[in-house]
A and B are shown apart, each in its own frame.
Chain A
């Protein structure tokens, strides 16, 4: 062999340990263990930054507005599976990442909060983040690149970057208030949300970056452009503009996720979003706050660097401004929240009835007459009939267990907490706060009533002193008075309980597990199933399944 080649091999061999050291975190990583009883799904393993990618907005609009509904209309397997479900056969795919206790473990998508450990009222009133407003004066650095609300990107006096979105003309605090309340509730529920604050500013607080005035890098934003933006913005009686300021998230924006696929290059992303408990159950929360514009592009994936250019992806619900009665250009369209943009069922109903069918949104008295609230109501609202603008794939896959989980989160909010979340928006009009609190409570109770009638709301099982304890959420929240329960032990014996506790006898020889199916006596809701295992001379709850 030639000396030169030998030297090359030698150099490569000596470099190999260094290469392995650099690749250490990746090359040496072994597959994580699978433990279905974990409360933390460890999806923050340091990885290299995935490539930027997001589904095309307009392509997704066509797909979820037309292609998917038409495809499902003619989907023969779907019809066969539906027919099988009528005979009691379980065909729906349950959420892939629910743990053994039928909960969504903490992850980069979701953190268990209010329904496990009530968020203090003072925290709700403040909002998800410590109050920090963009310090003035502001410098406009870019026009707002997309979306229907008018606004611009700024750098505040402290150098922080914010996106400012104006409330629509004539409706101060409509969008900014809705966004604040929605985000506060979503964060308390467990979702990651950006730091948004309702803000007020006057024309004199804003200047345009000289580069933008000049048109540097092919992008120009002039005073005329600014005037055309401001003229569409809402103005308070004192002449200041009403807007929402959103602090740029920490990290590198990878783009919006697609509900139908895992993020390319993200090796931590094990579960397709449509199969995630937190995203399926989000339907219930969206119906509560009437977030009628939920789509892939309302989410944002951020790569957060932790060390040595490695990091992980955090998933945010970016935009909740189209909630309650708010729309981009004023109060939301009356049909929003009740019908898809192309709702084949309602089109067919209207067609067949020659237009004489009355849609729920026509019956509903949505016009509140409160400019900062818009079109919102709860009298006609039915939790199961909530519809966004576009069909959300994750919502279509929702099962009763997912819906119950979402309803449990909604029901966990007390009236004081709801009032505190509404207070975070700092509405000038006292009618707005009172109206929103009242209707959020009504919707909360409707949601709880509906889902707790489908799945027995028996939860939070634990064993103490040889007795299985649980909570009846419907009784706790005041929807039901104290009631009896039926327990089926190991599919065999049936026992009637007068309270939410079941004494457990020591196991027979050779039997170390027990399965209890607990239902509400005289109630058709699906039972809760609890698996118990005998460990260290006592029973331990090892698995819970709702419905």
Chain B
């Protein structure tokens, strides 16, 4: 835009200009130079004399320049002249700076006391210095790495359930968009896990997933069956599980997907160890159906997710429904046949803005024997309050029965990008059948925490929840709510 336009601009600019800022284009300094060019030698001589006088006069008579106010385009500060002094030698303006003695005296005791924390902070910074350039620095996108790779597999499922082992990944086997994973781990509490997973066409309209999992745990917890079991009745058992399943996925997004599933499940309960008291010592055999009986099931089913959300990672508005239905058939005499289902609904409502959300979640899960083999169901196959159905203020696997209902309402508000504070209230109950649910017998939990949305179907949650059985702190990686 031509500069001249700013001389007589209209209101928007003039409002911010005052009379003293309305400087003109022609100024004293360039005027002399322009005149000298025109006039030739004599004028140049005159110019030289004029400038010489000007320089002499400038130091003695700064008032000429003082007429030009500060902030004008031709402003020159009076008095000071530092010319073109770029000589390397010369004085320094001050001695090197040092922390003041009294400040050293004041801060030293606190530096000593907080030294371990400082050391920790420096360690974290050094860790970031190592990790950052290798994993966080934006790099030109390269084609995905194909072939075999070996990595450690770390599993943390509880304060005393920390497992480590190798994980082999084969990207691009058998097709370009496939991935094979084979991981094994063992923990300090002798929990052993082996997992095989082949994903073909993940995030495509049609995908296939094949999986085999082996899980061995000697200290699974059991409180009995029913809604009124006592916390003091805790006992332990060993459970060895082998599952194999094949899943046809229709729909690229896990939030909008139909799943056709079939599989095999073998569960073998035994006498536990590494914990006490044992189930056999605490409960009579008659109260524990299938106490030491292995069951093998073949099952098939259908499941699906349908979500209409404004943001898949941090929804503030919308609905999400999920359902799973399975039919299981016992493979040997005595193994039960049953039908199992799980239905979940979620709703998100903004509170005058998307950064404040009321999120509501309801789960109804059940299992019902079918066929004539038996009407009993193994205690280890009953729905229980653990994993995604944990009752917030209660221990994992605290309640189990043929039916489970869980309802949670929480208020989330953003405190940082992708991080929300949460306060919640929850009701959970188990019952032998749908007619046995009683609202007044539901187990309540309330509390709050922090939620960090990490991916479409995953978040990290840190939560403190209170119930009649005490306070529970939980850090959940990969929570899907």
Residues on A facing B (Cβ under 8 Å): 32-36, 38-46, 56-63, 66-67, 70-71, 74-77, 80-81, 93, 96-99, 101, 105-106, 112, 115-118, 120-121, 125, 143, 146-148, 225, 228-229, 270-272, 275, 306, 312, 335, 342, 347, 350-351, 354-356, 411-417, 419-420, 423, 430, 433-434, 437-438, 441-442, 445, 459-462, 464, 469, 471, 473, 475-478, 541
Contact = CB atoms under 8 A, between A and B. Distances in A.
Contacts of B87: 42
A190 B133 CA distance: 33
Given A62-B128, A462-B78, A478 B19 contact: yes
A442 B17 CA distance: 10
B42 interface: no
B21 A115 contact: no
Contact of B92 (A106, A270, A356, A413): A270
The 9 A-B pairs with the shortest beta carbon distances in the complex, nearest first, are A58-B132, A478-B18, A355-B413, A42-B90, A96-B97, A39-B82, A59-B129, A35-B91, A476-B69
A161 B342 CA distance: 64
Given A43-B92, A80-B106, A460 B77 contact: yes
B93 A67 contact: no
B206 interface: no
B48 interface: no
A477 B21 contact: yes
B356 A354 contact: yes
B275 interface: no
A127 to B, nearest CB: 15
Nearest to A71: B121
Nearest to A42: B90
Contacts of B88: 42, 44-46, 306, 312
A460 to B, nearest CB: 5
Contacts of B96: 96, 270-271
A459 B71 CA distance: 13
Contact of B125 (A34, A67, A117, A438): A67
Contacts of A306: 88
A354 B76 contact: no
A355 to B, nearest CB: 3
Given A45-B89, A462-B78, A411 B6 contact: no
B75 interface: yes
Given A44-B88, A342-B416, A476-B70, 11 more contacts: A34-B92, A40-B85, A59-B125, A67-B124, A105-B82, A275-B97, A350-B415, A415-B17, A442-B16, A464-B63, A478-B21
A271 B94 CA distance: 9
Interface stretch (B137-145, B221-229, B266-274, B465-473): B137-145
A427 to B, nearest CB: 9
Contacts of B110: 75-77
B414 interface: yes
A77 B104 CA distance: 10
A58 B136 CA distance: 9
A58 B89 contact: no
Contact of A34 (B70, B94, B103, B136): B94
A153 to B, nearest CB: 13
Contacts, number: 241
A75 B111 CA distance: 10
Contacts of B86: 40, 44
B128 A59 contact: yes
A311 to B, nearest CB: 10
Looking at A66, A67, A71, A75, the one whose CB has the most chain B CB atoms below 10 A away is A67
Contact of B132 (A57, A106, A225, A464): A57
Interface of B: 1, 3, 6-7, 12-13, 16-21, 23, 30, 61-63, 66, 69-80, 82, 85-97, 100, 103, 106-107, 110, 114, 118, 121, 124-126, 128-129, 131-133, 136-138, 140-141, 353, 355-356, 411, 413-417, 421
Given A350-B415, A414-B71, A476-B69, A270 B97 contact: yes
Contacts of B16: 415, 438, 441-442, 445
Contact of A414 (B73, B89, B95, B106): B73
A77 B103 CA distance: 9
Contacts of B124: 62, 66-67
A414 B66 contact: no
A526 B106 CA distance: 28
Contact of A42 (B89, B136, B137, B416): B89
A118 B425 CA distance: 65
A471 B94 contact: no
Contacts of A106: 82, 85
B6 A460 contact: no
A347 B419 CA distance: 10
Contact of B3 (A32, A77, A423, A461): A423
A415 B80 contact: no
A56 B140 contact: no
Nearest to B118: A71
Contacts of B80: 39, 101, 116
13 contacts: A40-B82, A58-B136, A96-B97, A101-B80, A116-B80, A117-B76, A415-B21, A433-B1, A434-B1, A460-B78, A460-B79, A469-B66, A476-B71
A136 to B, nearest CB: 23
Contacts of B93: 34-36, 38, 41, 97-99, 105
A351 B421 contact: yes
Contacts of A312: 88
Nearest to B16: A441
Contact of B6 (A38, A416, A430): A416
B92 A471 contact: no
Contacts of B23: 414, 416
